[in-house]
Chain A
């Protein structure tokens, strides 16, 4: 089952109201000079001055961008049930520590009993339906899109930023591409998803949005970190991983 009051995309125009979901980091993005627009149905910061400069940072330094609107669906139940339902959503394998790519989503296991699927916002409603349709045994599919805020850290210096925030061992041979590492980041619960190369997604409780934004941008500042908008991130993400 799923609960519509957790699903931001279930909002609809009604009685003259026109709700548009917004990233929890919107106030911070606005303060940092971000231009706000709607992408994939979400109100987000699309650019901070120069998309080109932002893309350069992602290639040569480190770019930090809000991706809180990524769809996040949590599966819970007996390991066999969880694996079967994930497979129905396109997951190829569920292995602790690994993030596998399938069905246009990253499949990130916390344990055999609990797996987080992370996908583009446009994919979230469809994937949720597929998972709910495949539910079996005593298990739950919960939309955690709003529970977790997310920042993308992209670029050769991304790992140096993490070194100032977390004790998780992100050396490439310990955290290869397509890895998922839950653990403390800036002293709060965090999750590091290394998608590929220098592209990481850091997820954390959305109530910590402002706190984590300050921590990450502070840590990145001496390294020349640049805040980047959704457009630059999308452009950098064009080279979609082979497994997609």
Chain B
């Protein structure tokens, strides 16, 4: 390894070696190295192959800002080698090169050049012949891109956590400004979180060898009580919620005030060969030097637009790098070409005119292995812009400045346009005080104390250091000048896109994908804007910048996904159903047994002996109070206020538009209380619906209690159900004492129950509601009592079949958001002779006057087929005029039965309807009476 003498503030521990693997070969590293610094120390200069042309790319920013060093680590793609710490045993691989980084066969795309490369090439070329697209896609997917998606892993094999943090002040950026701000705010009593994406807080102090000062400031912040998230990358601001990614945690920080101190991003220069390995930003070169004691090169040429490049030249010279030449654009000279094939070998410097063309006779070729560039510094203002800030071009700094800092935010340091130097910390402290005060901390005295430094800051900030405006692209127009490294967009591509009519920066972004790559515009926003300005003859101010959107940094999708969180409701009997062999499926937000292995046998058991189904998922509401009856009468189209205690009535709920929203039963418990059941999927919505009308009808004295999850509910159904009840309860269950639609309260197997004599499966049945704490006890007691009487547990599917036999509609299956009770074969449920108004009355009155175009009816199909649900009911022509909503094979009928929406003239018994099911035509017969026990004798027995 080649390391320089110890540098002040270096991050490496020279006594602790470790090793990892790169493309299968061992790499030695020191504790504190990043993947990139260890590879660089070992002599590697090519770190990636570019997105489209497969050009070799080397380290550019060394700060996680550019796309040049993306690698995969242990199978996860998109990791930035320049910021990812080297760890013992990690397996690092290059992305996007075949067979290797150093010899990439796909480089042919670049050298062939010409016809292979214009923007939109793939879309323009590979669309014909259409049938070959799958092949094209396979090839293109491999050729382009940024690596392969990781293999799917076990649900908990890779996890991130969300961590919620509330704070008074969130500071993003831990450079001098951010640390000063956080410390000041915390000293004023604010609860402060600071997130910094660097290897340690300190920002640009680190690259300048001032790590000691950085550590002092960070310690000061910690002492003041600041929570430091480091390294933590702020990826976006969403209405005051900041997302900060730290390894396997996504911090969601909800702060009263946000203080942005994200500094600036050094800009590259645009000239032919500007992407060659060895072309490095001045801050990147200094980071290699200061943090990892690496010499970025032996012989360097420096091209700069400000003092920043000059400072870098000095630092490099002190470290022993030969400075072969310095081109300062402020003196008229810049780099117009970089020479070399796999890495930079020489730089061509020249005086240039305003358009970037070399002035004849000034060209000078200088041999070098390092070309340090510095094209000015652009504020890293994305978070401020996401929150509603604006950009305005500032010729003095040759960059877009952030103006109009939005409410709730503060900006400090370089991102706010404060010039480098003493003013930085001052601006931080001031902004920190402002943020703390705005969050309600501090006092009158501390507010007063903040005023003096404000004047001092204005004085310091009044003379920004000079920066030259670089040309959009320098050089003679030959060779590729890259505006965007992520997506391989050249100056010529921008020219072409404008010729093709994509002449605004937002259109150009979408066409060229410039600013859409992993750097998110850090390296390309400004160069692209300059190129568009040049091509269209506009001022930069009118070109503007693209809309800032999250994520500001690329993050793994897994970091956003968090742990698997999929809320599921389960009956208290769930584990028991599993033991009984239940096949579990989703039913709304519930997990329920579809069947217990043999739905046909389960149907037969209910019809011939007895069955038990868990219907705990039913919505259950207690509506209580002196006006409870009145309340229900206002909600339901039929009457409930006149229901006798201990009796049950079916009810359908409709909206004011007359559309069915739910159905269920209502049992009057006593004078003041009703027990209302809803569909399983409708439970929460109906509770909200009831509560909403109660909020409006303040004249009613009614309370509403949702007891859905308090009660287990099971339906014991079948001809032998009564016998089984006799073994469990002393309640007289005879048909005379406990008849159809009666509701009783009694102990069953010792458990207090509400018993409803209802059921939608067509047989004698008892719906038993009881506390979930006794869930398994009562279920088991019923099953035990029924064992010798042929009882079987049955699931949703057999229930569906049994219901269909009785032609009970299933809200949401047989009806949709347009269905009304008139057309849905339930006109009897609407009591328009009711004295009072009710929800939906006016619409239903309209409907009642017109014969609906479609009606819901039953059908029988005797050709042996069972049409799919959703099959079309067709007219004599080809057009669909209706549809099948439910269909099943009926064992008792010996053929298919179902429900369908059919035209009104066919909605009568015996009418023939034509069904078209996936290409097959069949003729079915309409029936309007239940398929099974049409007079309900079994049900009432």
| A/B contact in complex, CB under 8 angstroms | yes
Give CA–CA (A238, B271) in the complex, Å. 76
Partner of A209, one of B164, B570, B625, B776: B570
Sample of 11 A–B contacts (CB below 8 Å): A1-B673, A12-B747, A18-B750, A142-B622, A142-B705, A146-B773, A164-B163, A169-B166, A205-B569, A208-B567, A218-B156
Which positions 433-487 of chain B face chain A at CB distance < 8 Å? none
A171 touches B774 (CB 8 A): no
A5 touches B711 (CB 8 A): yes
Which positions 125-158 of chain A face chain B at CB distance < 8 Å? 137-140, 142-148
In the complex with contacts A140-B622, A146-B773, A171-B191, A77-B703 CB distance below 8 A: yes
**Please, which residues of chain A bring their CB within 8 A of the CB of B745?**
4-5
**Please, which residues of chain A bring their CB within 8 A of the CB of B627?**
138
Q: Does B752 contact A (CB under 8 A)?
A: yes
Interface size class of A (residues with CB under 8 A): 35 or more
A-contacting 9-mer, from B31-39, B230-238, B571-579: B571-579
Query: Interface readout for A11-29 with B: 1 if CB under 8 Å, 0 if not?
Result: 1111101111111100100
Closest to A137 in B: B701
Shortest CB-to-CB span from B841 to chain A, Å, is 26
B711 touches A146 (CB 8 A): yes
Give CA–CA (A151, B315) in the complex, Å. 60
**Please, which residues of chain B bring their CB within 8 A of the CB of A5?**
711, 745, 752-754, 769-771
**Please, which residues of chain B bring their CB within 8 A of the CB of A145?**
710, 771, 773
Closest to A13 in B: B750
Closest to A222 in B: B161
Q: Does B751 contact A (CB under 8 A)?
A: yes
Query: Interface readout for B236-259 with A: 1 if CB under 8 Å, 0 if not?
Result: 000000000000000010100000
In the complex with contacts A146-B772, A171-B166, A218-B563, A1-B670 CB distance below 8 A: yes
Q: Does A122 contact B (CB under 8 A)?
A: no
In the complex with contacts A14-B749, A15-B729, A6-B166 CB distance below 8 A: no
Q: Does B730 contact A (CB under 8 A)?
A: yes
Query: Interface readout for A209-244 with B: 1 if CB under 8 Å, 0 if not?
Result: 111000100110010000000000000000000000
Query: Interface readout for B662-703 with A: 1 if CB under 8 Å, 0 if not?
Result: 000000011011000000000000000000000000000111
Partner of B161, one of A140, A144, A208, A219: A219
B567 touches A4 (CB 8 A): no
**Please, which residues of chain B bring their CB within 8 A of the CB of A13?**
750
A11 touches B751 (CB 8 A): yes
**Please, which residues of chain B bring their CB within 8 A of the CB of A3?**
622, 669, 673, 754
A211 touches B568 (CB 8 A): yes
Q: Does B165 contact A (CB under 8 A)?
A: yes
Q: Does B777 contact A (CB under 8 A)?
A: yes
Q: Total interface residues on B, using CB and 8 Å?
A: 65
Partner of B709, one of A12, A69, A207: A207
Closest to B728 in A: A15
A-B pairs with lowest CB-CB distance, top 4: A147-B710, A21-B773, A207-B569, A138-B701
- Tell which of A7, A12, A19 has the most Cβ of chain B within 10 Å: A19
Shortest CB-to-CB span from A129 to chain B, Å, is 15
In the complex with contacts A6-B710, A23-B773, A207-B590 CB distance below 8 A: yes
Shortest CB-to-CB span from B374 to chain A, Å, is 42
Number of A-B contacts (CB under 8 A): 179
B705 touches A140 (CB 8 A): yes
A163 touches B750 (CB 8 A): no
| Supplied contacts A8-B774, A15-B749, 14 more A-B pairs, CB within 8 Å | A3-B673, A6-B710, A8-B773, A15-B728, A19-B778, A21-B773, A24-B772, A138-B625, A142-B707, A144-B710, A146-B772, A163-B163, A169-B166, A210-B568
Closest to A23 in B: B773
Q: Does A76 contact B (CB under 8 A)?
A: yes
Give CA–CA (A146, B752) in the complex, Å. 13
Query: Interface readout for A41-80 with B: 1 if CB under 8 Å, 0 if not?
Result: 0100000000000000000000000000100001011100
Give CA–CA (A186, B564) in the complex, Å. 10
Closest to A168 in B: B164
**Please, which residues of chain A bring their CB within 8 A of the CB of B847?**
none
Give CA–CA (A138, B672) in the complex, Å. 9
B752 touches A4 (CB 8 A): yes
Shortest CB-to-CB span from B738 to chain A, Å, is 16
A24 touches B161 (CB 8 A): no
Which positions 736-753 of chain B face chain A at CB distance < 8 Å? 745, 747, 749-753
Q: Does B565 contact A (CB under 8 A)?
A: yes
Which positions 702-727 of chain B face chain A at CB distance < 8 Å? 702-711, 727
In the complex with contacts A6-B771, A147-B707, A188-B567, A11-B752 CB distance below 8 A: yes
Q: Does B162 contact A (CB under 8 A)?
A: yes
Give CA–CA (A34, B447) in the complex, Å. 58
- Tell which of B161, B622, B710 has the most Cβ of chain A within 10 Å: B710
Closest to A113 in B: B703
Q: Does A96 contact B (CB under 8 A)?
A: no
**Please, which residues of chain A bring their CB within 8 A of the CB of B729?**
15
**Please, which residues of chain B bring their CB within 8 A of the CB of A163?**
163-165
Shortest CB-to-CB span from A185 to chain B, Å, is 10
**Please, which residues of chain B bring their CB within 8 A of the CB of A218?**
156, 563
Closest to B749 in A: A17
B750 touches A146 (CB 8 A): no
Give CA–CA (A184, B215) in the complex, Å. 40
Shortest CB-to-CB span from B788 to chain A, Å, is 16
Query: Interface readout for B750-779 with A: 1 if CB under 8 Å, 0 if not?
Result: 111110000000000000011111111110
B572 touches A209 (CB 8 A): yes
Give CA–CA (A69, B773) in the complex, Å. 9
A164 touches B161 (CB 8 A): yes
Query: Interface readout for A170-199 with B: 1 if CB under 8 Å, 0 if not?
Result: 010010000000000011100000000000
Shortest CB-to-CB span from A135 to chain B, Å, is 11
Give CA–CA (A219, B708) in the complex, Å. 28
Give CA–CA (A148, B747) in the complex, Å. 23
Q: Does B781 contact A (CB under 8 A)?
A: yes
Partner of A22, one of B709, B750, B773: B773
Give CA–CA (A208, B156) in the complex, Å. 20
**Please, which residues of chain A bring their CB within 8 A of the CB of B711?**
5-6, 146
**Please, which residues of chain B bring their CB within 8 A of the CB of A24?**
572, 772-773, 775
Give CA–CA (A84, B730) in the complex, Å. 39
Partner of A219, one of B563, B570, B572: B563
Q: Does B624 contact A (CB under 8 A)?
A: yes
A140 touches B625 (CB 8 A): yes
Closest to A7 in B: B752
Give CA–CA (A27, B770) in the complex, Å. 19
**Please, which residues of chain A bring their CB within 8 A of the CB of B670?**
1
A21 touches B626 (CB 8 A): no
Closest to A218 in B: B563
Closest to A166 in B: B164
Shortest CB-to-CB span from A142 to chain B, Å, is 5
**Please, which residues of chain A bring their CB within 8 A of the CB of B730?**
14-15
Shortest CB-to-CB span from B692 to chain A, Å, is 15
Partner of B567, one of A144, A164, A166, A186: A186
A138 touches B703 (CB 8 A): yes
Give CA–CA (A208, B673) in the complex, Å. 27
Shortest CB-to-CB span from A83 to chain B, Å, is 15
A10 touches B752 (CB 8 A): yes
- Tell which of A17, A22, A215 has the most Cβ of chain B within 10 Å: A17
Give CA–CA (A207, B567) in the complex, Å. 10
**Please, which residues of chain A bring their CB within 8 A of the CB of B161?**
164, 219, 222
Q: Does A167 contact B (CB under 8 A)?
A: yes
Which positions 553-586 of chain B face chain A at CB distance < 8 Å? 563, 565, 567-572, 574-575
In the complex with contacts A5-B752, A11-B751, A15-B749, A21-B565 CB distance below 8 A: no
**Please, which residues of chain A bring their CB within 8 A of the CB of B571?**
207
Give CA–CA (A163, B191) in the complex, Å. 16
**Please, which residues of chain B bring their CB within 8 A of the CB of A207?**
569-572, 590, 616, 708-709
Shortest CB-to-CB span from B166 to chain A, Å, is 4
Shortest CB-to-CB span from B678 to chain A, Å, is 15
Shortest CB-to-CB span from A146 to chain B, Å, is 4
**Please, which residues of chain A bring their CB within 8 A of the CB of B774?**
8, 11, 19, 21-22
